[in-house]
Structure 1
Amino acid sequence: MKCHFRHPMLIALLCCSSVFAADKIKIGFISSLSGSGGALGVDIRDGFQLALTNGNNKLGGLPVELSVLDDQMNPDIGRQASERLIKRDHVDVMTGMVFSNVLLPLLPAILESDTVYISTNTGPADYAGEKCNKNFFVISWQNEDLPGAMGKYVTQQNEQNVFLIGANYPGGRESIAGFKRHYKGKIADEVYVKLGQLDFSAELAQARVSKADSVFFFLPGAMGSAFLKQMDSGGLNKTMRIYAPGFSGDQDSIKAVGEPMLGMYNASQWASDLDNAENAKFVRAFEKQYGRIPTMYAAQGYDAALLLDGAVRDVKGHIEDKTAFRKALRAANFKSVRGDFKFNRNHYPIHNIHMRVVERDKQGRISNRTVGMIAKDYSDPYAVNCKMD
């Protein structure tokens, strides 16, 4: 760049302004904070906010300007919120969305605006392979990760005939696909229901007729709670063993369902009892701040903030240098509450996946206990098709 100003102060200000770091980082947080999946968005928000609170509302030394908006599980409302954050507020980073059917219609415009998006929950297959994008990072999991681990585990348990049921949206279909990728037994039946459905009488009748010895399900939020309650009231949980990914066996479901979930196995990249210092700190702080046991959703929100904290620090606050900022995010220089973590070439996690079982803890509370590791350094099957270096 050539400058033609004679005054040295103008030259310093106009030509060399890049030496000054940003004075704040603006984050747009859109999530499902109401509706049947609202508990999930609230937990992600609370985990993210807890990390900000612990850091005196700073990330990497920069003050945070956080805008929180509710997409109400509706992509049209989400699109309005996204456009406001990008065009009016000029946010540096966006994050928070829960459901893939909300995120996917919005993501092209977000990425085309050269805005970094950090997914705190859904990890769609669409952007894990050939469409991987320099501005898209997934801190949680690829949608098949946890169901795939469950497929492996259910096979190890010698389950011969499994009934599958999932919500009919991208995340639900990919979850069932992940289970099927690793399960080696027979599938008694495969059923998909409308996202948000709460009455499963017809599907449970199908399950009974199928003669399955077990059921694997992915029904997010209140859907899963309703399904488990109806399994219990109909007595099917006495004749069919129940398996789920962690997002259908977490604390939000346990709170709603209670004792009928005792003994249920579920896979997750995180658990409240994972033995590492960062996790212990997170669990203590979350219970103190909010008066409840954190979920994996809260852990994912917390990790997203820690990821940003490390990246902003690594670029010394120069988030306007987007190439350097993306490189710092890719490096993932932070201590995850799940333990070992790194990004694959597609910006999706390489991480360990653990088996959990719902039991009563020493305080008599119903919660998950880690049984063991089911997959070490797990990476999704789509990353090989990503051409990013």
Structure 2
Amino acid sequence: MSSMVKTIGFATALGLTATPALAQEKLKVGLLLTLSGPSAVLGQHARDGFQLAVKDLGGKLGGRDVEVIVIDDELKPDVAVTKVKGLLERDKVDFVVGPIFSNVAVAVHKPITDAKTVYISVNAGPSNLAGRSCNPYFFATSYQNDQSHEVLGKVAQDRGYKKVYLLAPNYQAGKDGLAGFKRRYKGEIVEESYTPLNTLDFQSELAKIASMQPDAIFTFMPGGMGVNLVKQYRAAGLADRIPFLSAFTVDETTLPAQQHAAVGMLSGSNWAPNLDTPENKKFVAAYEAAYNTVPATYAMQSYDAALVIDAALKATGGKTDNKDALQKAIQKAEFKSLRGDFKFGANGFPIQDFYLVKAAKRPDGKFQTEIVEKVFDDYTDAYAKECAATN
């Protein structure tokens, strides 16, 4: 089965016929996301968030009709590179938006930026792309990978936890995540364990945790990995004895499966569904009405990516042919982010707020994360200075 799906144009959906000349004027956006395997739900939220934004903007970005081309990268860097080349050479997209995972983000970075095509990550934020390998055509509407993990490092330090067990998948984002935690936590690391990507059985790690009796564990396990880890942690009787701190392990993509097993667990994030801004309230209501699920940060960041493109194109009069001018318009894009405070730093990553959030059950029976406190205000990532040093 082909993993490429082209969304139906809004004119077609309304029963209108566009002339060939008008069809050539459509803005083309390639969405490169993980849409299969245990972590597919992450890509689905990102896809749905972007498409909801386009719908809310009347099917246009910067005044131009939009064709969104959705690609499944299959969480395989080599597959992603091949498909990105198709987006660039065959489809001639104006923007590439995505991906979810950092190993894919790094693999496709060179072909996209070499083509001077604007590349907007809606999730992955590897340290090298924020630092020495930064590029003026690469932006992120998410975060640098370390940052949400730093929230928990600071929380663990402030709460006086003396010994912590660390657990993450063995790939770039996992390493960045634990590096972020350790940047803020100065206590003892009793174990730093890396599992193969897409590990679903954590019994050996849980046995170690039970025997070591740390003051807390910190983990980064997105998607299906996080679902299984939380359930197994609760079933092992550890949740009531050893605090479970995480980022992207307990969120709106995993909570529908984790449910009560995750309630009360703390995480770090740049956003939560209950964030009190008018734009966010409208977004959450619209997303739930459209998809019958609570949106995750992946959806929010993807929605914001569409708003960035819309704002930049308004500044260029809808033109994309002058790529340098388009890149500069993205850098300076002014829009109302769903998360509130937002601006791009010199390395193309957001300067934004970060929060401690907690998993909760809502009165309507759905589960979501909710803000406990703001931990960082207008926070710039630790690698931005390395980007500035190379430019």
TM-score range, shorter chain: over 0.9
Q: Deviations over 1:359-380 (max 9, x none)?
A: 2223233221211201001111
Whether the aligned pair in 1 keeps the contact of 2:213 and 2:242 (CA below 8 Å) is: no
Q: Find 2:27's aligned residue among 25, 31, 36.
A: 25
- Match of residue 198 from structure 1: 200
Partners of 2:78 and 2:387 lie apart in 1 by 29
Whether the aligned pair in 2 keeps the contact of 1:39 and 1:221 (CA below 8 Å) is: yes
CA shift for structure 1 position 102 = 1.5
Partners of 2:300 and 2:120 lie apart in 1 by 14
CA shift for structure 1 position 332 = 2.5
Consecutive unaligned residues in structure 2, runs of 5 or more = 1-23
Moved runs in structure 1, 4+ residues, more than 6 A?
A: none
- Match of residue 57 from structure 1: 59
* Alignment of 1:99 onto 2:116: no
Whether the aligned pair in 1 keeps the contact of 2:345 and 2:351 (CA below 8 Å) is: yes
Q: Residue 189 of structure 1 aligns to a residue in which SS?
A: strand
Whether the aligned pair in 2 keeps the contact of 1:263 and 1:358 (CA below 8 Å) is: yes
- Match of residue 122 from structure 1: 124
Consecutive unaligned residues in structure 1, runs of 5 or more = 1-21
CA shift for structure 1 position 383 = 0.4
Whether the aligned pair in 1 keeps the contact of 2:117 and 2:323 (CA below 8 Å) is: no
Q: Residue 325 of structure 2 aligns to a residue in which SS?
A: helix
CA shift for structure 1 position 252 = 1.4
1:251-266 superposed matches below 5 A: 251-266=252-267
Partners of 1:264 and 1:370 lie apart in 2 by 12
Partners of 2:94 and 2:366 lie apart in 1 by 41
Q: Residue 89 of structure 1 aligns to a residue in which SS?
A: coil
- Match of residue 323 from structure 2: 322
Q: Residue 239 of structure 2 aligns to a residue in which SS?
A: helix
Single out whichever of 137-146 and 248-257 deviates more from structure 2.
248-257
1:355-370 superposed matches below 5 A: 355-370=356-371
Q: Deviations over 1:147-197 (max 9, x none)?
A: 011100111111111110000000011001000010122111110000001
- Match of residue 11 from structure 1: none
Q: Find 1:148's aligned residue among 133, 144, 150.
A: 150
TM-score (normalised: structure 2): 0.92
1:175-190 superposed matches below 5 A: 175-190=177-192
* Alignment of 1:233 onto 2:235: yes
Partners of 1:62 and 1:365 lie apart in 2 by 37
Larger-Rg structure: 1
Partners of 1:74 and 1:327 lie apart in 2 by 31
Q: Find 1:43's aligned residue among 42, 45, 49.
A: 45
Q: What is the RMSD of the two structures over their aligned residues, measured on CA atoms?
A: 1.2
1:211-250 superposed matches below 5 A: 211-245=213-247, 247-250=248-251
TM-score (normalised: structure 1): 0.92
- Match of residue 294 from structure 1: 295
Q: Residue 118 of structure 1 aligns to a residue in which SS?
A: strand
Tell me which amino acid in the other structure corresponds to 2:84: S
Partners of 1:296 and 1:128 lie apart in 2 by 20
Tell me which amino acid in the other structure corresponds to 1:346: N
Whether the aligned pair in 2 keeps the contact of 1:165 and 1:217 (CA below 8 Å) is: yes
Tell me which amino acid in the other structure corresponds to 2:60: K
CA shift for structure 1 position 130 = 2.0
Q: Find 2:162's aligned residue among 160, 163, 174.
A: 160
CA shift for structure 1 position 38 = 0.3
Whether the aligned pair in 2 keeps the contact of 1:352 and 1:377 (CA below 8 Å) is: yes
Whether the aligned pair in 2 keeps the contact of 1:45 and 1:96 (CA below 8 Å) is: no
- Match of residue 113 from structure 2: 111
Single out whichever of 93-102 and 362-371 deviates more from structure 2.
362-371
Partners of 1:293 and 1:206 lie apart in 2 by 34
- Match of residue 71 from structure 1: 73
- Match of residue 5 from structure 2: none
Q: Deviations over 1:49-104 (max 9, x none)?
A: 00011112110111111111111111122112111111111111101211111121
* Alignment of 1:280 onto 2:281: yes
Q: Residue 251 of structure 1 aligns to a residue in which SS?
A: coil
Partners of 1:235 and 1:56 lie apart in 2 by 50
Tell me which amino acid in the other structure corresponds to 1:193: T
